[in-house]
Amino acid sequence: MGSNMAECHPVAFRWPMKAKLNGAKLVHVDPRFTRTSAMADLHVQIRAGSDIAFLGGLIHYVINSKRWNSDPFFREFAVNYTNAATIIGDDFKDTEELDGVFSGMVKFTEPTFWPYNGLEGRYDNASWAYKRGPKAPGPVTKDLIAKRAGPPFDDLVRSLKPGPAEKDPTLQNPHCVFQILKRHFARYTPEMVERVCGSPKDKFIKVAEMLLENSGRDRTSAFAYAVAWTQHTYGVQMISCCALLQLLLGNIGRPGAGVMALRGHAAIQGSTDVPTLYHSIHGYMNAPSALRPHETLRDYMAAETSPTSYYGNTPKFLVSYLKSMYGAAATAENDFGYDWHPKILGDHSHIASFAAMADGKVKGMCCVGQNPATSLNGGATRLAMRQLDWLVVKDNWLTETATHWYLGPEAKNGEVKVEDIKTEIFFFPSTQIAEYDGSFTNTQRMLQWHSFAAKAPGDCRTDSWFYHNLAKRLKKAYAGSKLARDQGWNNLSWDFDPDAGEEPLYPGEISARKVLREINGYQTADPKQHLKGFAELKDDGSTTCASWIYCGCYPAWDQNLTARREPDPPGVPGAHLKWGWAWPANRRVMYNRASADLKGNPWSERKRWVWWDPTFVNPPDPKTKKPVPKGKWVGYDVPDFGATKAPDAQPKPDGIGLDALSGTQPFIMRADGRGWLFVPAGLVDGPLPTHYEPHESPIQNPLYKQQTSPVHKVWAPGKPYNKLAAVGDPKFPYVISTYRLTEHYLAGAMSRWLPWLAELQPELFIELGHDLAKEKGIQNLDWVVVSSPRGHIRAKALVTHRIGVMHIAGKPIHHVGMPWHWGWMGLSTGDVVNDLTSWVGDPNVSIHEGKAFVCNVEKA
Amino acid sequence: MQVSRRDFLRLTASGGAGTAIGGLVGLGVTLAPATARAQELRIKDAKTTPSICPFCSVGCATLIHTVDGKIVNIEGDPRSPHNEGTLCPKGAAIYQLHMNPNRATKVLHRKPGAKDWDVVELEWAMDRVAELIKKTRDETFIEKLPNGKLVNMTPAMFALGGATLDNEFNHVCQKFWRGLGVVAIENQARI
Amino acid sequence: MPEPMGFFTDTTVCIGCKACEVACKEWNQLPAENGGVGELSGDSYDNTRKLDGIHWRHVRFIEQFKAPYDGRWLMMSDVCKHCVQAGCLEVCPTGAIIRTEFDTVVIQSDVCNGCRACIAACPFGVIDVNPVSGTAQKCTLCYDRLKVGLEPACSKACPTDSIQFGSIAELRTRARKRVDQLTAQGVKADLYGADPDGALGGLNSFYLLVDEPEVYGLPRHPQLPSRNLSKSATFSAASAAVLGVLALVGLRKRRMDEQSRGGGGAGNV
């Protein structure tokens, strides 16, 4: 669901196809019948944006099924490995009680210093918390902060430990998570699924039965999703809903199970881990923020550290990161330079930034390897860029973003005079993949190194070269400044020139290996002594490590594990641990402790992955030299658990981090070591997934009075460049999805210039059903005009039965779809489909709603 | 698991590092003298460099064949547990990302209000961009908010892109901008 | 001597990605039509439309739907059949077309004089002139790669192993097993060109189909154009006759294409 894997990840699709030849069943739930559907045992049509109703329906079906209630495996997994038994506080109110809203709804007021958060509302999540016993006595957090305790910061972390959560392993308590979710999804019946999603009831039941049959001790099922689950105003909740279902089915942390994110770019996982994203600093730590209690280093640690999970080590991650930023200048006395680190003012995400740019608040932009002129609400994006003082585009091809000012639709149709655009614009040509060294992190979290093979032509330089050489210039320009504001920059460590003996690939080029070494980390006193893994990190500044999660990819100065290319020999059911390096700790299946039962034995022989070997003789502890009792986690993968922590190990009463968890709590990144069916904290839009309508929808929400997510984002509300359609607007009666094709790549810069790819899909098209075509008098290949409240574009019609009408809440709703690869540059050109999309999005992650909105279609 | 002929051909074809053709042994066929002329093998004596496909996130491994520093062929690396030598049409077209007359190779500059580009020197353009970044930073830097919170940042510059680029680029990019106090750093993960 | 080698294309696992088309072009350095600038064909996702001198692989898309979401989408990667009895080879006046030690059929570009006889002689419409070389061209089954033990570019690239390369004997065994597997699942599947006693002595590129051959644009009874010719005929007479027969084949093929676009029907050509 939420993915067109055969078309968008064709080579990954090799493996489901292999599984299918071995008897696996493949189901595709999608608004279109795609090349993935063509390969599936079952395709089920679904209205774009209604996935939570479908998944919620599966949850309802599963927990009320005979199989789930009779096979003890499911209950054993749920009671022990999830928070099903945990009791939620008495104040919690569900959407069933408040007609689509959870308890804790408050008004959101935009801060005057950065009014770009776009939130429609806000939840105070106090009432979603676990019901807890009294907190253990001990030092108080705020006192420790006041007296600047630490390093070490263990006392500070310990002071954050809450009282023990209450549980009911019988799952009978009406306030336990299981009973809450049972009530929450009670109305998500097969009939309701058909009504909300347009998915035929019999097909839906078939999916549910297939899932049940293929889950259990002996079998697992996996879900694959992509941006069709992220590009919504409730995208995070869709994924969360799937995780909930998979936890109930025992399909997490086991081989052939899970919720697989199929990401879109070669390094999109890497650029999330190594975050060129505003909200996060390395290794998924939240960016210090003016909207959170992040005033000082210790405030940040207190606010961000989860004391009873592996995140209890956050002070070590943070201090080691600050050391990588400010080097020798980062000391315990100056809180490792924490004050120099910038704080965010609120939402500075993609859309928020363009909204601020349109208001003249963003003056300069550097765009490297991205093409926003054809992205989200393209007209508004280009309008925003025309307000810039300066714009730098660095790319392999002259993109739409580089040329929007004289070739964009506004320039072409005379709406904008080129000479009126005051922006100073630069274009720098880039190298291609074969022309430099570096690593990508793929969708499996695996880092793989690629090597230089050939020189780039002309002035093409690597993108790292660009920032490296700007940094050198700016270091010079600020040298000697005594201003407080310049001290962070002047103290920033910047040492990426190749060492003596390593030839730069281009004049002034960085050493990519040196960059990866800084990401991996080393002993501060001796950079040649690399850290072998994140267990070595310290919170006193003695270790320097940009990214704790990447720690171990370069465990010795001359050992770049990302460059390994040694597959397992044929016939070994292995994880190919010597091919590349996957974070964390080269682990291939996360939370894999869950692949074994409570006692540490594999759930079944067939699904053996990681297990406890009680006979394993351990060497003495290398640090303390003390003997270690027998027993170790072993298997095909790197165990995601304390290596010698026995299944019967009990939490230490005073323990922090993993010491606070027992030997049967596999989800070591969660504060209670359990998979969360109910999310007490961390999501801004509710603890349980709930069906809402897309911001633009042809119908009223059939399930609740609340139409849309009550806290979703609308940026630039009321602005003429972000007009939105009202519910059921007769001017825009059709549901539209945007999508990708195998033959092109994203915004097209990397495919529309390639003759071999351009000839395969030479022009933009709209796919529409025969019924709609007939109604509108549209023939195959006719030019049509597609419009939304933001704009209108032209495309050729591809009339097909692979998309069409669905009956939603008793109303026939036509679906249409458009691939969005086009723009005006390249060998294959076409209108910008994103000129139709809007600036509305998910409140957790600020992703836009590109998969479900409304439009009109007319013959041109 | 049996190794099929096909797997075998893939494996032998991968050879090791060094030359493109790893070996012809074990084909189970006698390679009799050719009865007809075949086109000279393009990757004969080519150097093989391991690489990764730059398109989607699957991370297919490729082998780049170069002769005298010039790319002559790019195909899947049969050793990879991800792709086992296979590629999609985009992966199969990586050669054309490189060997393509449409490639941009010059630095371009557009003055405010100008109707067209000027071709400029790389070093000049770098100097000018550094100058603009400094100017904007100095004019817009916020040390403290009106409520007294220390933020040491500027919201007036926006860095976009990174998901198609290397981890190392992303590190350098985010460190550069955060070092300067710029927080609006984004990439395609958000879209 | 090496065994006969070829392709088995299992159309039931073809995802229509066209990696084969591009991998073929990459290895053989074939240009795109009109430099890559083209128009939407409107025929499902097929925009290259046919096999010719610069498209040695071609993926066909067949939409078979009764109503919205109710039907199937067939895909097939097509290529030169490397016929055991190859019409093109028989009619080539210059001897440019040869049978290799792998039992494949290869046009030697440097011997071809561009007379086009082979184009007309092919019952599958595989061959055409490559405008760059000015000679007749088609799939060589990567003869240059085979000679050094490398798998052909297209089958190597194919992500789902729809195109399988190997010895014909082994491929036929594998193909029959796959037919049995599909039959057991209730899918009607047949092999096309796998029978050594069938048309043209068997095809060294054969297919597993789930519908009539015509649906995929394949002739039900492909014929050797020279079959009706007297062996003693003079060369010029033979050429003339061939051209006559071939006009007919071309006509039949067009008719077949029309039928297949109409959604099937078992025309007996």
Residue spans of the domains in chain B: they are 5-98, 107-190
Q: Which CATH number covers residue A395?
A: 3.40.50.740
- The architecture (CATH level 2) of C5-261 comes to 2-Layer Sandwich (3.30)
d(CA A304, CA A338) in angstroms, rounded, equals: 14
Residue C224: partners with Cβ closer than 8 Å, 6 or more residues away: C85, C87, C90, C123, C200
- Mean pLDDT, chain C, whole residue set: 87
d(CA C62, CA C71) in angstroms, rounded, equals: 11
**Cα A184–chain centre separation:** 26
Residue C105: partners with Cβ closer than 8 Å, 6 or more residues away: C80, C82, C83, C86, C88, C89, C97, C98, C99, C204
Q: What is the pTM of this model?
A: 0.94
Residues A374 and A257 in one domain: no
**Chain B: residue whose CA lies nearest to C147:** B31
Instruction: Give the model's pLDDT for residue C239.
Output: 42
Give the minimum alpha-carbon distance from A210 to chain B in angstroms, rounded to a whole number.
27
Instruction: Give the model's pLDDT for residue C260.
Output: 41
Interface contact A763-C16, CB threshold 8 A: no
Question: Mind giving me the DSSP string for chain B?
Answer: ----HHHHHHHHHH--SEES----TT-SS--PPPSS--PPPTTTT-EEEEEE-SSSTT--EEEEEEETTEEEEEEE-TT-TTTTT---HHHHTHHHHHS-TT---SEEEE-TT-SS-EEE-HHHHHHHHHHHHHHHHHHH-EEE-TT--EEEEEEEEEEE--TTS-HHHHHHHHHHHHHHTEEEEE-GGG-
Nearest-5° Cα angle at B50, B48 to B51: 130
- Over residues C235-254, the mean pLDDT reads 40
Residue A826 belongs to domain spanning: 713-859
- Over residues A44-55, the mean pLDDT reads 98
- Position A605 in a domain: no
Backbone angles phi, psi at C46, to 5 degrees: -95, 110
Instruction: Give the model's pLDDT for residue A605.
Output: 97
- Over residues A41-59, the mean pLDDT reads 98
Q: Is A801 on the interface with C (CB under 8 A)?
A: yes
Residue C150: partners with Cβ closer than 8 Å, 6 or more residues away: B9, B13, B21, C142, C156
Asked if A827 and A755 touch (Cβ cutoff 8 Å), the reply is yes
Among candidates B44, B74, B88 on the partner chain, residue whose Cβ is nearest the Cβ of C17: B88
Instruction: Give the model's pLDDT for residue B4.
Output: 42
d(CA C99, CA C101) in angstroms, rounded, equals: 7
The residue ranges of every structural domain in chain C are 5-261
Instruction: Give the model's pLDDT for residue B22.
Output: 36
- The architecture (CATH level 2) of B5-98 comes to Single Sheet (2.20)
- For A:760-779, CB contacts with C below 8 A are 760-763, 765, 769-771
**Chains linked to B by 3 or more Cβ pairs within 8 Å:** A, C
Q: Which CATH number covers residue A21?
A: 3.40.228.10
- What single letter denotes the amino acid at residue A219? R
| CB neighbours of residue A331 within 10 Å | 12
Give the minimum alpha-carbon distance from A392 to chain B in angstroms, rounded to a whole number.
8
End of a domain among A454, A478, A502? A478
Per the structure block, which two tokens stand in for A450?
């690629």
Instruction: Give the model's pLDDT for residue B39.
Output: 56
Give the minimum alpha-carbon distance from A266 to chain B in angstroms, rounded to a whole number.
4
Instruction: Give the model's pLDDT for residue C202.
Output: 95
Interior/surface letters B70-84, b for 16+ CB within 10 angstroms, e for the rest = ebbbbbbbbbbbbbb
Sign of the dihedral defined by the CA atoms of residues A699, A704, A706, A712, in that order? negative
Instruction: Using the structure block, give the residue that is written with the tokens 């080269």.
Output: A586
Instruction: Give the model's pLDDT for residue B34.
Output: 36
Residue B169: partners with Cβ closer than 8 Å, 6 or more residues away: A368, A438, A462, A463, A464, A467, B162
Q: Which CATH number covers residue A854?
A: 2.40.40.20
Structural domain count, chain A: 3
Backbone angles phi, psi at B153, to 5 degrees: -150, 170
Residues A78 and A196 in one domain: yes
Query: Dihedral through CA A225, CA A304, CA A138, CA A674, nearest 10?
Result: 0
Give the number of C-alpha atoms closer than 13 A to the C-alpha of residue A847, restricted to the C-beta side: 22
- C-alpha closest to that of A557 among A504, A520, A510: A520
Sign of the dihedral defined by the CA atoms of residues A449, A451, A456, A462, in that order? positive
d(CA A309, CA A160) in angstroms, rounded, equals: 12
- Position A247 in a domain: yes
Give the number of C-alpha atoms closer than 13 A to the C-alpha of residue A500, restricted to the C-beta side: 0
- Reported as a single tens digit per residue, the pLDDT across A481-535 is 999 999 999 999 999 999 988 899 999 999 999 999 999 999 999 999 999 999 9
Instruction: Give the model's pLDDT for residue C225.
Output: 77
Share above pLDDT 70 across residues of chain A, in percent, rounded to a whole number: 100
Instruction: Give the model's pLDDT for residue C1.
Output: 62
| CB neighbours of residue A540 within 10 Å | 17
Asked if A699 and A197 touch (Cβ cutoff 8 Å), the reply is no
**In a mutagenesis test of the C interface, which of A17, A754, A759 is the best target, namely the one with the most C β-carbons within 10 Å?**
A759
End of a domain among A226, A245, A261? A261
User: Which 3-state string (H, E, C) describes A688-729?
Assistant: CCCCCCCCCCCCCCCCCCCCCCCCCEECCCCCHHHCCCCCCC
Instruction: Give the model's pLDDT for residue B7.
Output: 43
- Reported as a single tens digit per residue, the pLDDT across A67-115 is 999 999 999 999 999 999 999 999 999 999 999 999 999 999 999 999 9
Asked if B102 and A751 touch (Cβ cutoff 8 Å), the reply is no
Asked if A204 and A52 touch (Cβ cutoff 8 Å), the reply is no
- B25 burial (CB, 10 Å; 0-12 / 13-18 / 19+) is exposed
**Chain A: residue whose CA lies nearest to B108:** A427
Q: Per-residue pLDDT for B16 more than 60?
A: no
Instruction: Using the structure block, give the residue that is written with the tokens 């399909």.
Output: A251
Nearest-5° Cα angle at A521, A518 to A523: 120
- Reported as a single tens digit per residue, the pLDDT across B51-82 is 999 999 999 999 999 999 999 999 999 999 99
d(CA A823, CA A373) in angstroms, rounded, equals: 9
Among candidates C29, C106, C150 on the partner chain, residue whose Cβ is nearest the Cβ of B36: C106
Instruction: Give the model's pLDDT for residue A105.
Output: 97
Coil, strand or helix at A307: coil
**Cα B147–chain centre separation:** 45
- The kind and range of the H/E element at A841 are strand A840-841
CA dist A313 → A302, A316, A343 (Å): 12, 5, 22
ipTM: 0.97
Instruction: Using the structure block, give the residue that is written with the tokens 């040492």.
Output: A495
Residues A238 and A370 in one domain: no
Q: Of the given ranges (A444-448, A449-453, B25-29, B102-106), which has the lowest mean pLDDT?
A: B25-29
Interface contact C17-B89, CB threshold 8 A: yes
